[in-house]
Amino acid sequence: MKYFYFFLLLILAGCSKQDNTTPDDGIVYINGTGLEGKWIAVRHYGSNGGGMIEMALTGDQRFTVEFKSDSTLYHSATCPTGNFVYDSYSLVNAVPPYTLRVKSSASSFSRVWYYGFEDNNTNELLLAVQPGIEPNYYRMKRIK
């Protein structure tokens, strides 16, 4: 099953449109490397039961995720994590398929997230926060 997600990430990375929109919301995009840093969701890829759809996210649809070097994790309340607040992460697989385990200190619940970078561009991240039968991915951009 994990290879399915990696394969899907590769397809999404190869078939995606360039997001040339410049939001007027004061967001500053920056350059960086690796997973650490703060990210904002700009596009959503999901299934409506009849195939993949792509949707630009604006305003309240956007959410942020921040991966800290000490393995702490912060995400905005609008991050689609169900009823869980995750506050730490650990790398499970640092080679494809890239995976990390997110954990909640308030409960014993943890979940695996899948991720990948867009065409070796480490400033765009593809992140699956609710992996399941139907694909559900977000294109994230690195922000200040």
The dihedrals phi and psi of 11, each to the nearest 5 degrees, come to -65, -45
**Domain ranges, residue 55:** 2-17+32-143
| Residues 90 and 101 sit within 8 Å (Cβ to Cβ) | yes
**Residue 86, pLDDT score:** 92
27 domain-assigned: no
25 domain-assigned: no
104: domain CATH number is 2.40.128
24 domain-assigned: no
61 domain-assigned: yes
**Residue 20, pLDDT score:** 38
76 domain-assigned: yes
**Residue 83, pLDDT score:** 79
Question: In sequence order, what E strands does the chain have?
Answer: 37-47, 52-56, 64-67, 73-75, 88-93, 99-103, 110-118, 121-128, 136-143
Percent of the chain with pLDDT over 70: 79
121 domain-assigned: yes
Q: Which pTM does this prediction carry?
A: 0.77
Tell me which of 10-24, 74-88, 111-125 is least confident.
Answer: 10-24
Q: How many domains does the structure of the chain reveal? A: 1
